[in-house]
Homo-oligomer: A and B are copies of this chain.
Amino acid sequence: MPTINDTHRISTTDLDTPPRLLLGPGPSNAHPRVLRALSNRQVGHLDPAFLDIMGEVQELLRYAWQTDNQVTIPVSGTGSAAMEAAVVNTVEAGDSVVIGVNGYFGERLVDMASRYGADVHRLEKAWGGVFSLDELAEAVERHRPRVLMLVHAETSTGARQPLEGVGELCRANDCLLLIDTVTSLGGVPLFLDEWLVDAAYSGTQKCLSCPPGLGPLTLGPRALERLEARRSKVPNWYLDVSAVVKYWGKERTYHHTAPINMNYGLREALRLVAEEGLEARWERHARNAQMFWDGLADMGLSCHVDAEHRLTSLTTVCVPDGVDSGAVARELLARYNIEIAGGLGELKGKVWRVGLMGFNSRPENVRLLLAALAEVL
């Protein structure tokens, strides 16, 4: 046997992380009950006890999304994995696809769909803007897409894309409607079935207040028909929903080992949503966001997105002229253990991104952030 090399056998200390208040675009702080659930003792991924837990996670996800979709599951990766799962299971090479690009995550959808050979048509808008129904109708009529992809809650801009009427437009044109709900699920009103959405994905580390590590995904009957009628295998083994559902469905066939403890955490996070109720939860997010916006206005600061289309979970605050946005964020972290983030892409240096998500959407956090921001500025 060769000699064991101890070069990388470093000595480490017990885990001791600073007590951060995570008010950036996510992750947000997990609810204490969720953190406790994570460390619950394990069972096997085919244990009858775990199958029950899986069923509860699915059912509670349906409630949070307001959908009856049978295929409603947490993908065993982060929100980005669920995003790719939504794309790869609905798109085939050569398919015409229209993607609304009004921020970083629309751009990422373009990258993903392109990798899978889609004929991508970009519908562009300045970062922070949203698309009107007329603009969407025109694009659908011009490009006859098989899928229209929109970001309901743009984590990079804080804009909320209205979806009323979009589902009807898609159905009339034999087009699937796929939406990103990463920063809206559990915080901002969402009615997937009412809005005739065919595919949606999310993350756990935003308004659900669970650590990152699972990516909720839901596919409706029209998306499943498309999946069944494919000309070729899904060109991605891990995210192939036609195989994954055999584990999450009645067959319980092994596909991959589900992240047991992360599912414990998500279950607890979704229980908290159900206990509070969606109406109260959405209202709480709206109330605390309004308190934050009012406080910003009192300080003479403005928001990047117009009030009508502003997400209540994530606000982009305009950086005043002459202020170094990065320095302010670093100062908040160093002095007060508060994390906020800067802008991405077009908005780099121009905005701060402030999340008031899930458990973190509380008046005391708003009050603290406003006071700290006033001092640092």
**Interface of A toward B, CB cutoff 8 Å:** 1-2, 4-12, 15, 17-20, 22, 24, 26-27, 29-30, 35-45, 47, 49-50, 53, 56, 59-60, 62-63, 66, 68, 76-81, 84, 108, 111-112, 115-116, 189, 191, 193-194, 203, 205, 211-213, 233-239, 254-262, 264-265, 267-268, 271, 274, 277-279, 333, 339, 344
Q: State whether B212 touches A258 (Cβ < 8 A).
A: yes
Q: State whether A257 touches B76 (Cβ < 8 A).
A: no
Q: State whether B9 touches A274 (Cβ < 8 A).
A: yes
Q: Chain B residues with Cβ under 8 A from A63's Cβ?
A: 5-10
The listed residue (B29, B81, B116, B278) touching A77 by CB distance below 8 A is B81
Q: State whether A35 touches B41 (Cβ < 8 A).
A: yes
The listed residue (B47, B191, B238, B267) touching A81 by CB distance below 8 A is B238
Q: State whether A268 touches B20 (Cβ < 8 A).
A: no
Task: From known contacts A4-B278, A20-B43, A42-B27, infer whether A59 and B10 are also in contact, taking CB-CB under 8 Å.
Answer: yes
The listed residue (B8, B27, B60) touching A62 by CB distance below 8 A is B8
What is the distance, in angstroms, from A252's C-beta to the closest C-beta of chain B?
Answer: 13
What is the distance, in angstroms, from A233's C-beta to the closest C-beta of chain B?
Answer: 6
With A15-B268, A29-B42 known, 20 other A-B pairs at CB within 8 A are A7-B63, A12-B274, A17-B40, A17-B50, A20-B41, A20-B42, A20-B44, A22-B44, A35-B39, A44-B339, A76-B213, A77-B77, A77-B238, A80-B237, A80-B238, A108-B237, A116-B235, A212-B258, A212-B259, A213-B261
